[in-house]
Structures are given as structure tokens and as C-alpha cells.
Structure 1
Amino acid sequence: MRLGPEDHARVSEAIRAAEATTAGEIVPAVAQRSDAYHDAALQYAVLAMLGVLAVLAAEPWLATRLWEWVAGTWSAPPAGAPFVVALVLVTLAFLVVRYLLAWTPLRLALTPGATKTRRVRRRALALFRIGAERRTVGRTGVLIYLSLAERRAEIIADAAIHDRVAPDVWGAAMASLLADVRDGRPGDGLVAAIAQVGQVLAEHFPRQADDVNELPDRLVEP
């Protein structure tokens, strides 16, 4: 899911229209994903290893049976045979799970929702500090951050806005944005969210006669 030139143009126009009535500055940013989540794949691989060991601990005869099947002999297996079987099986379990979770969609699907929410929030805060925080004279910057793969969004406001606007006020804008993303229309969602954020800003920070445009009116794709 990507945004094309038309979406960029529409977003820029939406920013200009929203900022025409407010002293606030709106910075929209869209990322394909906020993290690679390789640590989640590693954790699942380790769990697979532990699962194999748990099965062998509960049913130790399996190791002997596997050794006999592979060795092709009815003689008593050596004393270290169960350990060799266990080592081979845990190694295979680790490699198979790591290989399967190298496929990004599966890795994302198996990553816990709470983990994705934290990573999206962390990435949004990092971008906010770079692109909006304290970048305006009145501390009136707002970041609208959308992470497409996780289908999550964050709205983070600079100090002056945060002091006067409760975080739950952005709920409607977030809902509009995510609803359109789920329908495969992220451009429409961003335009709607920008308009709603602009309405909130216009109420608390109306545009002044000497207002200047302090941040670029464009979509950021980090």
C-alpha cells in the first residue's frame, strides 16, 4: 500500500486549507512500517526450541526411537544418543521458524499487537522530535503519523497545543484515518485527519494577521 503523486498533492492541499484558519502547523508522515520486528522472530524461534525440549522431556522414548529410525539398527543406542537427537531437533526447530518468519507479512501477523503499538509510538515520537517539536515559534506543531503495515497511527502535538488540547480530542481524526486505511485508501484518510486536526487547531489557535508558514506543506515518507 503506497501513496502516489496524486495523494501527495491532495495532502499538501489539505494542509494548506487547514492551516489557512489556524496558527498551528500540521506535519503528516507515512511509513511503510515502524520496525522490522526481527526480535519477535527470534523469540518465536527460541520458543520452538524450548517446545522441542519440553516434548522430549515429557516423552524421552521419542529420542531413542528417532535414533533407531535414522541409524537403522536394532542395537542399543549409545548413551549420548538422546542428546544428539535433542541437539539436532532444537537446531532444526530454530532454523525452520527463523526461515518462515523471514517472510515479513507472517512476522508482522505473529507480532503481538501491544508490541506493534509501542514501536509505532516510539517511531512517531522520534519523527516528531526531528520534524515538528519546537520547530515553530509558538510551539504549535502537530505530527500525524501513519504506519501502514501495522495499520496504526499517532497524533503528537507540541507543547503549546498539548497544554490546551486533551489527547482524546484527536480520537475522531484517528478513527477517520484508520478506517480509510483499512479500506485501502490511506490518502483519503490523511486528508480527512488533516481537516479534523485543522478544525481543532483553529478553535484553540486561530490564525493571526502576521502568521507565517513555518513548516513545509508536504507529506513526509521516512
Structure 2
Amino acid sequence: MSFDEGARTRIAAAVTAAEATTDAEIVPIVAARSDAYHDVALHWTLIGMFLALALVAAMPAPLVALLDRLHGGWDMALPTGMLVSALIVLVAIVFLAFRLLTAPLTVRMALTPGRTKTRRVRARAVLLFRAAIEMRTASRTGVLLYLSLAERRAEIVTDAAVLARVRPEAWGHAMHALVEALRDGRAGDGMVAAIAQVGAVLAESFPHTGTDPNELPDRLIEL
């Protein structure tokens, strides 16, 4: 899912229109994803390794029979070193198999719990807000509308003055409009609708006075 030039133009126009009604600043940012989730792949790999060891501990006969054939098939007591080496090889095979299986991002995304995705998207939104928006306006009224496409999640992060006057639940309509459009594959329409809703909320608490300059870009920022 990506934004064409028409969508970018409509989003920029929506920001300009919304900011015409408020002294606050709205910055829309879209990211392809908020995290690579390599740690999730590692967690599943470790689980697979421990499960393999547990399976051998519960049912050692197949492995012992295989090693016995490799040792000559005389049904003798197997050397401890062979048993340990076999377990190490088994764990290594499971490790490589899981690493290969989880190499594609789509697989890692499917294995990542929803709450983990939500936390990562929120953390990335806060990081971007602090780097690009926080304290960049004289009146501390910057608002970030952040959309992470791979996770299909969005966040709104606000500067200190907005946070002091606007309750978090006030952004519900904006988030709903964005997420619903995203589910239908209309990310551009969702951003436009969400920006309009954000502007309406800001206009109530920070109405346009004509004295506050445009301090942040109106365009869509794509990461």
C-alpha cells in the first residue's frame, strides 16, 4: 500500500485547510512499518529449540535408534559424546530452520502479537514526535498523526499545550476514520478524513487567531 501523488496532494490540502481553523500545527507521517520484529523471530526460534529438546527428552527412542544405526547397529551403549553431539546438531538444525522460516517480514508480522505491534507503533510515533515536532512550535501546539502501514495501526501524539487542553478520547473519531479507511485499502482517504477530524478538535481549543505562523510543513512525510 502506497500513496500516489494525488493522495499526497489531497493530504497536504487537508492539513492546510485544517490549520486554517486553528493555531495548532498538524504533521502527518506515514511509515512502511514501525519495527522489523527480529526479536520476535528470535523468541520463536528459542521456543522451537526448547521444544525440540523437550520432545527428545520425552521420546528419546527415535533419536537413540538413529544413532545406534550410525554407530554400527550393535545395540550397544552409545558414547556420551555422541549423544551430546547429536543434541547440539539437532538444536542447530532447528535454529537454522526457524531463522529461515521467519526471514520474510510477512511471517514475522504474522507471528507478532497484536499488543506488541501496538506498543511498537506507539513507541515509534513518540520517537518521531520528539525528533521532529516537540518544542518546534512557539506555542507548543504540534500534533503528529502517525500511520504505520504494515501494522495497520495509527497514533496521535500531541505537544504539551494540546495535551493539557484536549482529552485523549477526543481523537476517537479521527482514529476511527483512519483505521476504517485503512481496512478498505483507502489509506489516502483515511488520512484526509482523520486530518479533518483532528482539525475540528483543535479548532475548539486552539481557534485560529491569525497571529500564529505556520511553523511545521503541511506535506505528508513518508518514511
Q: How do residues 58-207 of structure 1 correspond to structure 2 at under 5 angstroms?
A: 58-70=58-70, 73-76=73-76, 78-80=78-80, 81-207=82-208
Question: What are the Cα deviations for residues 85-143 of structure 1, in whole angstroms up to 9, with x where unaligned?
Answer: 21111111111011010011011110111211111111100110122111111111100
Q: Which amino acid aligns with 2:113?
A: P
| 3-state secondary structure, aligned to 2:33 | coil
Residues 171 and 72 (structure 1), Cα distance of their counterparts in 2 relative to 1, 3 Å cut = farther
Deviates more, 1:72-81 or 1:200-209: 72-81
- Cα distance in 2 for partners of 1:151, 1:18 equals 24
Question: What are the Cα deviations for residues 8-43 of structure 1, in whole angstroms up to 9, with x where unaligned?
Answer: 111000001111111010000000000101011111
- Cα distance in 2 for partners of 1:58, 1:6 equals 61
| 3-state secondary structure, aligned to 1:35 | coil
Question: What are the Cα deviations for residues 170-217 of structure 1, in whole angstroms up to 9, with x where unaligned?
Answer: 111111101111111110110000000000000110000323211111
Q: How do residues 46-57 of structure 1 correspond to structure 2 at under 5 angstroms?
A: 46-57=46-57
Residues paired across the two proteins, number = 222
Please tell me whether the aligned partners of residues 125 and 156 of structure 1 are also in contact (alpha carbons under 8 angstroms). Answer: yes
- Cα distance in 1 for partners of 2:78, 2:168 equals 66
Q: Which residue of 2 aligns with 1:8?
A: 8
Q: How do residues 23-34 of structure 1 correspond to structure 2 at under 5 angstroms?
A: 23-34=23-34
Q: Percent identity?
A: 54
TM (normalized to structure 2)?
0.95
- Cα distance in 2 for partners of 1:205, 1:185 equals 30
Give structure 1 stretches of 5+ with no counterpart: none
User: Residue 68 of structure 1: CA displacement?
Assistant: 3.4
- Cα distance in 2 for partners of 1:114, 1:209 equals 42
User: Residue 74 of structure 1: CA displacement?
Assistant: 4.0
CA root-mean-square deviation:
1.4
- Cα distance in 1 for partners of 2:77, 2:91 equals 20
